[in-house]
């Protein structure tokens, strides 16, 4: 997303493509086994959500960039978002074979890493996934021809597919009736390195360390905390990649951070900038306030509304009317909220000093909460180790 946001804030014409067609096939890259085909309904649902998300992110991203760069927001227009199903759905099998397949060399196709690794495995590769690179190549040809796109940008794992598109453009536009002609508008490819930890471990779903920009999948608070938890070795690079902060300002931040790394000064700035970029500055401030309450015991520094926004839809936040919260034994709320598995576990934790209410040890989880237990008359926080349950009083 950032690789597209940067040219956008400098008013460089570009388009974003969503894979209504390619998503129905599946990219074999980075996979050791065949992808499970998604239903048309799921593809359409994902596509609509992605388009809405991209439009939202570009609006927030441009506003964040304007804070540090001399740009005129009023003159900025979001990039076009195109669905490759629009030009692929009417492509017949004969068209595909004659206009695309005719220009593809099988020996080149099987030499690409995404295909080669699968051919060498016991899983093999289906013709469907084998053909994926030709669909993406056709996308580049279409965008080159109809929108004047001369540069395709993608992750490093997309290099083979991008090259396939460049090769198809050369063959379709550089040759006419068997006669080579000079191509006046060459096509290019640019890849962005995959993000890795300082130890070289890849970020992503398969690595188990993915973070989502969709707050329904990663609540805003967890998104914020994800960056607060980044290591000292990683934070400088992430500030350069994920923020619009000037480089000299980043160097100043790192220098100040190194004076007392335990305060995580650089990580907090990284968390604020990335959360502001993805969710807006207001939610970034609310996530920071909620974080201080949960992880720094600054119990009075936030409000229930901040928790509502920072943990929207999260099971850790339970909001109930007073006639429920002030009459139900605390242990029942803990079990219903998933903080403990049973009432006996809650009793054991309390005896061992492992249960806290608003930062203080709670010895009697069987009691009923009183109004005095609610911070600012709004919420109470029950903690077990690093896990929390926030109980909020409904207005």
pTM of the model: 0.83
* pLDDT of the residue at 177: 46
Q: Which domains does the chain have, with CATH numbers?
A: 2-192 (3.40.50.620), 220-303 (1.10.240.10), 317-393 (3.10.290.10)
**Strand 387-393 with 317-320, pairing:** parallel
* pLDDT of the residue at 322: 92
- Report d(CA 166, CA 168) in Å as an integer: 5
- Report d(CA 274, CA 238) in Å as an integer: 10
Q: DSSP assignment of 9-70, as one string?
A: HTT---EEEE-TTGGGT---TT-SSPPPPPPHHHHHHHHHHHHHHHHHHHHHHHHHHHTTS-
* pLDDT of the residue at 26: 87
Largest distance between two CA atoms of the chain: 88
From the list 265, 209, 285, 270, the residue with the least C-alpha distance to 237 is: 270
* pLDDT of the residue at 176: 47
Label residues 186-219 b or e (16+ Cβ within 10 Å = b): ebebebeeeeeeeeeeeeeeeeeeeeebebeebb
Distances (CA, A) of 356 to 9, 41, 349, 351: 48, 46, 9, 11
What is the chain's pLDDT, residue by residue, as a tens digit (395 residues)?
A: 888 888 887 778 889 999 999 999 988 877 778 888 899 999 999 999 999 999 889 889 888 988 898 887 777 777 889 999 999 999 999 999 999 999 999 999 999 888 988 888 888 899 999 999 999 999 999 999 999 999 999 988 899 999 999 999 999 887 544 455 555 689 999 999 888 777 777 666 655 667 899 998 899 999 999 999 999 999 999 999 999 999 999 999 999 999 999 999 999 999 999 999 999 999 999 999 889 888 887 788 788 998 988 888 888 999 999 999 999 999 999 999 999 999 999 999 999 999 999 989 999 999 999 999 999 899 999 999 989 999 999 87
How many other CB atoms are found less than 10 A from the CB of residue 264? 17
- The dihedral of CA 250, 256, 257, 259: what is its sign? positive
Q: How many residues does the chain have?
A: 395
Q: Which structure tokens are listed for 372? A: 């005095």
How many other CB atoms are found less than 10 A from the CB of residue 361? 12
């Amino acid at each position: 997303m950032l690789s597209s946001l940067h040219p956008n804030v400098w008013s460089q014409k570009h388009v974003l493509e969503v894979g209504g067609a390619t998503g129905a096939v599946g990219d074999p890259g980075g996979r050791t086994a065949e992808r499970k085909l998604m239903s048309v309904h799921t593809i359409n649902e994902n596509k609509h959500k992605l388009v809405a998300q991209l439009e939202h992110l570009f609006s927030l991203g441009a506003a964040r960039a304007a804070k540090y760069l001399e740009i005129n927001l009023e003159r900025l227009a979001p990039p076009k978002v195109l669905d490759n199903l629009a030009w692929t759905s009417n492509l017949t099998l004969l068209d595909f074979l004659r206009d695309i397949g005719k220009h593809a060399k099988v020996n080149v196709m099987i030499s690409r890493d995404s295909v080669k690794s699968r051919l060498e495995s016991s899983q093999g590769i289906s013709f469907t996934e084998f053909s994926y690179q030709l669909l993406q190549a056709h996308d580049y040809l279409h965008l080159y021809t109809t929108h004047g796109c001369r540069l395709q940008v993608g992750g490093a794992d997309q290099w083979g597919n991008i090259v396939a598109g460049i090769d198809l453009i050369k063959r379709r536009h550089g040759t006419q009736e068997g006669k080579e002609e000079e191509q006046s508008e060459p096509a290019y490819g640019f890849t962005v390195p995959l993000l890795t930890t300082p130890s070289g471990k890849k970020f992503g779903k398969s690595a188990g360390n993915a973070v989502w920009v969709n707050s329904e999948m990663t609540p805003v608070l967890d998104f914020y905390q994800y960056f607060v938890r980044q290591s000292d070795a990683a934070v400088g690079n992430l500030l350069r990649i994920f923020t619009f902060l000037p480089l000299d300002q980043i160097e100043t931040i790192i220098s100040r951070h190194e004076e007392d790394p335990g305060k995580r000064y650089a990580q907090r700035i990284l968390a604020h900038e990335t959360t502001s970029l993805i969710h807006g500055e207001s939610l970034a401030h609310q996530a920071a306030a909620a974080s201080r309450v949960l992880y720094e015991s600054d119990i009075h520094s936030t409000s229930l509304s901040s928790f509502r926004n920072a943990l929207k839809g999260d099971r850790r936040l339970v909001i109930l009317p007073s006639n429920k919260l002030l009459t139900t034994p605390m242990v029942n709320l803990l079990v219903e909220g998933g903080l403990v598995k049973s009432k006996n576990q809650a009793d054991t934790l309390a005896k061992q000093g492992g249960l806290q209410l608003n930062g203080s040890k709670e010895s009697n989880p069987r009691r009923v909460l009183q109004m005095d237990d609610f911070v600012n008359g709004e919420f109470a926080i029950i903690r077990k180790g690093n896990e929390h349950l926030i109980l909020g009083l409904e207005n």
